[in-house]
Structure 1
Amino acid sequence: MGQVIGEVLPLALGVAISPIPIIAAILMLLSPKARGTSVGFLMGWVLGIVVAVVVFALLSSFLPESGSDAPKPISGVIKIVLGIALLALAVRQWRSRPKEGIAPVLPKWMAAIDSMTAGRGFALGFVLAAVNPKNLLMGVAAGVAVGSDAPNAGASVVAVVVYVVIAASTVAVPVIAYLAAAQRMATPLESLRGWLTRNNSTVMAVLLLIIGVVVIGKGLANFS
């Protein structure tokens, strides 16, 4: 069990530290319909994470692998391919950094957050978790790790729970904190939003680089 949890931890952190969903959650918390949209977004975010990792865990559990101590070449190849894709995204993020003195460009849909309903917030959270390429790649990698490396069903469930809790934490914490103390959270949330907006590309580039290298290393280990 420890091995599979060790594999999903960096991937869960990669989803958790992804700036765009955090910025979206903060903008919702600063919007006129803060409570409804933020709770809807959080629910969609958690469901999207669950769906991505569970679907690919189930699919990868059917891979024709041998015993737990034997080489797992198919799983290894999949992980290496996913790792390379993450490295490619890291390069893309690094090149997309705004030049000094130029304001970062955020997705156009963020301008519509003030008018979002709880239902649209839910849909947005699900899309960012389960369809967004960066988070989907990490969900796929986590699913492959769970499905191919977990020794039994119990270990798979524990690994999925650990992955989901950590991956969802950075959106869940500000939403829960806001619901508990809305007035005191406004200023810290605005400061955090500004920092994440300025450093989004750099944070994601470094994060994807590290996780890509880790995933490739795990894939290479499956050949021995």
Structure 2
Amino acid sequence: MTTAIVLSLPIAFGLALAAMPMVMLSTVLITTRPARVSYAFVGGWVGGLIAAGAVVLTVVDVIALAAEPTWWVGALKLTLGVLLVVLAVRKWRARPRNGQDPTLPRWMAAAQTMTEARALRLGFLLAAANPKNLALVAAGATVIADATPRVHEQVIALIVFAVVASLTVGAPAVVRVALADSADRTLDAAGTWMTRHNAAIMAAVLLVLGVALIGNGAATL
């Protein structure tokens, strides 16, 4: 179990860094809506990561019962690595140029009036259905499944993975509790910086993780 956790942590940290749009949404929610709305979004995000990871673990475990996993686990890592590199290139090419304002998703604009139930659903869907996030979750779950065949150890490792991957998304709520009245100014400044550099940060994170998975997968084949 320890090996599964340690090997999946770099991907979890990468997902935490790549979740910049979700961090921005969490920041908007905690500064403009009741605190419970932001907490619902974070809860949905964590739940989405765990649900997506559980599906991947189940599929990998079923396949492992029927065949020796050595070659296909390496092939899966290699494929996910290539996908992450492609996503990194697309993110870098779509970054705003000098003088251009970054384009924000439509659901960011809806944050001002978002309810608790909608925030929960949106957090879940963004974690479990977004291609970039799903690729990273699949990579982490595959690493966990490859590290240990014991289901209870896989579950614990997956929960740790999801919590670590959610650290940045949950950070605005922690900042609000810690800084109280001065939190809005700090969060606004952080949100502005993340908005401006979001594409470059995500491209760099995806590229590093993609190259690491390609190397790991190639070594396994």
> 1:163 is matched with which residue?
161
> 1:111 is matched with which residue?
109
Encode CA deviations 1:177-209: one digit per residue, 9 max, x unaligned.
Answer: 324543221111001100100000000000000
Distance 1:5 1:46 in 2: 17
Structure 2 residue corresponding to 1:191, chosen from 189, 192, 205: 189
Q: Aligned-residue CA RMSD in angstroms?
A: 1.9
Distance 1:116 1:37 in 2: 8
Query: What are the ranges of 5 or more consecutive residues in structure 2 without an aligned counterpart?
Result: none
Encode CA deviations 1:123-168: one digit per residue, 9 max, x unaligned.
Answer: 1111111111111101111111222321423432332122112101
Identity %: 35
Q: Which has the higher helix share?
A: 2
- The offset of 1:74, in angstroms, is 0.7
Q: Report the TM-score when normalising by structure 2.
A: 0.92
User: What is the number of equivalent residue pairs in this alignment?
Assistant: 220
Matches within 5 A, 1:126-137: 126-137=124-135
Moved more, 53-62 or 178-187: 178-187
Encode CA deviations 1:87-133: one digit per residue, 9 max, x unaligned.
Answer: 00000000011010111111122111111100111111111111111
> 1:75 is matched with which residue?
73
Residue identity matched to 2:4: V
Query: What are the ranges of 5 or more consecutive residues in structure 1 without an aligned counterpart?
Result: none
Moved more, 46-55 or 57-66: 57-66
> 2:214 is matched with which residue?
216
Contact 2:61 2:149 in 1 (8 A): no
Distance 2:139 2:36 in 1: 32
> 2:49 is matched with which residue?
49
Q: Report the TM-score when normalising by structure 1.
A: 0.91
Contact 1:59 1:147 in 2 (8 A): no
Contact 1:19 1:204 in 2 (8 A): yes
Structure 1 segments, 4+ long, off by >4 Å, are none
